[in-house]
Structure 1
Amino acid sequence: MDLLLDTHVFLWWDAGADPISPAVRAAIAAPENRVYVSAASVWEIAIKSSKGKLAFTGSPSAAVALNNFLPLAIDPVHAERAGGLEWSHPDPFDRMLVAQAQAQNLTLVHADGAIADYKGVAQMWARP
């Protein structure tokens, strides 16, 4: 299975936090699964950290590598798809993650009610 972690799921995993369900922890840890973190999530973490809205020490891109996750770049197809989603959710980072999951046939792992309401993408709910 190919998974794309939403930003908060990546942060929880990196911090060893409890909000992730045992089933999702197992899916992320399974060696046969490929787990991606989007450049959009790295960007979101960097922005929020620089504004003091998020306490993240170190480099988010280094954390992707240290956790053995695969980086997912943003390409023009992703950008076009994110802009064209028929979805009223205004968060540009969430829109990009949904677009990337669609374009790359990834399961988006999240705990975001706004994403849960969007039916156009494969999803896995992260919380127990």
Structure 2
Amino acid sequence: MRLLCDTHSYVWYVTEDSSLSPAARAAIDSGDPVVSLATVWEIAIKVGAKNPPVMASVLKRIRSDGLADGFELIGIDMEDVIVAGLMPLHHRDPFDRLLAAQARNGDMPIVSSDRAFDAYGVTRIW
């Protein structure tokens, strides 16, 4: 099953951070995880803002080697941005609204600790 990882779930997975729940790790390990180009963009923004430091090492790895083994990068298309733009502002973070739109449009669950995704009618794995 394809599943969309949000920024923190991807970062926590590749850095083996214990903040990632066991259920999320198991889903990623047994599924077909995808990462949105929006997530790579968000990581780069966080690195540019110098917050948090772990993002710099993840971005460096993405730039040199691509995503971690087993992860597929998905782009952003026009329907994703239209759906995200029309979503109610349950979540003020435009990156997360875009991820919610991609999860809905791609009929994928999203791996995230963020309960705000629940308001968008997507299945959240945590």
Q: TM-score range by the shorter chain?
A: 0.7 to 0.9
| 8 Å CA contact retained: 1:35, 1:69 | yes
RMSD: 1.7
| Distance apart, 1:14 and its partner CA | 1.1
Q: Which amino acid aligns with 2:4?
A: L
- The yes-or-no answer on 1:20 pairing with 2:20 is yes
Structure 2 counterpart of 1:73: 75
Q: Within 5 A, what are the aligned runs for 1:104-119? A: 104-116=106-118, 118-119=119-120
Name structure 2 gaps, 5 residues minimum. Answer: none
Q: Distance in 2 between matches of 1:123 and 1:64?
A: 25
* In structure 2, C-alpha distance between the alignment counterparts of 1:91 and 1:114, rounded to whole Å: 10
Distance in 1, matches of 2:7 and 2:29, equals 17
Question: Deviations along 1:28-65, whole A, 9 cap, x unmatched?
Answer: 111xx211001011000001101111222214355653
Match for residue 93 of structure 1 among 88, 92, 95: 95
Shift of 1:25: 1.3
Letter in 2 for 1:82: A
Q: CA offset at residue 12 of structure 1?
A: 0.3
The amino acid that maps onto 2:72 is L
Q: After the TM superposition, which parts of structure 1 deviate over 3 Å for at least 4 consecutive aligned residues?
A: 59-64
Distance 1:67 1:100 in 2: 21
Q: Which has the higher helix share?
A: 2
Aligned residue type for 1:124: I
Count matched residues: 122
**Aligned in 2, Cα 1:101/1:62: closer, same or farther, shift over 3 Å?**
farther
Call closer, same or farther: CA 1:78–1:48 in 2, change over 3 Å. same
Q: One-letter code of the match for 1:4?
A: L
Report which stretch shifted further, 56-65 or 88-97: 56-65
The structure-2 alpha-carbon separation of the partners of 1:105 and 1:3, relative to structure 1 and needing over 3 Å to count, comes to: same
Deviation string for 1:57-113 (max 9, x for gaps)? 214355653332000100001000000112332100000000000000010110013
